[in-house]
Structure 1
C-alpha cells in the first residue's frame, strides 16, 4: 500500500491508498489509515465504502495496530449490519469523497444533529 496524506489535525494524521480503490458501479471501496497524535504508537486501518451517487460512507472492516505494527484488534462488519453514514461538507471524510468521487453530487452543509427522543423511565 502507498499511503497518500489526507491531512493532519490536532488529533493526528489521515491517509488513503488510491491504488487499492475498487469500484463497483457507483460505490468505491478504499483503505484509510489514521495515526493519532499520541505518545502511544498506535494506528488504525479501515476498509470503507463510499457511495458516489448518494454521498455516504460505510465501514467494511478495520484493524487496530499497536507497537511493532502488530494487530491488536480486528473486525469485519457482517454484510447485513453495514451502516451508511451521510457525508456533509466539512466532515472528516469530505476530502476523501471529493478525491474518490470527483463527479459525485456536491455535499450538503450539516444543519445540526437530528432530534433524538429517548423514552423516559416510568
Structure 2
C-alpha cells in the first residue's frame, strides 16, 4: 500500500480574494501614494521666475493725462483717434527715460519695429 496523502482542499471564494486581489490592491495603493507624494513635491519654477524677471509687470500702462492735453494742444487720446486714419504725429511715452514727447508717426513706427526693445515707446495720443 502506499502512503496516504491528504486530499487537496477546495479553495473558497474568500481565500481567492485574500490571495489574489489584496496584494494587488496594496501594491496599487503604494504606487499611488508614491506618485501623489512626488506630485506634491514638484516646484512650479515658472511662477517664481516670472515674479523675478518682471518686477513692475503689475504697474499700469502709460495713459493720456490732463497734463498731456495741456502740453500737446490739438492732440487726443489714442483711443479717441478714428480707426484706420494715420496720425501725422503721436504723443508717446518713452520707457527709457520715463517721459512723454511728440514724435512723427514714421519715427515712432521705426523705433518700435527695430531690432532692440530698449528704445520702444508706448502711444498715448495722436495728433492730426
Q: TM over 0.5: same fold?
A: no
User: Which range, TM-score by smaller chain?
Assistant: under 0.3
Could you say which structure has the greater relative contact order, defined with CA pairs below 8 angstroms and 6 or more residues apart?
2
TM-score, normalised by the number of residues in structure 1: 0.25
Task: Give 1 or 2: higher strand fraction.
Answer: 1
* Structure index of larger Rg: 2
TM-score using structure 2 length: 0.25
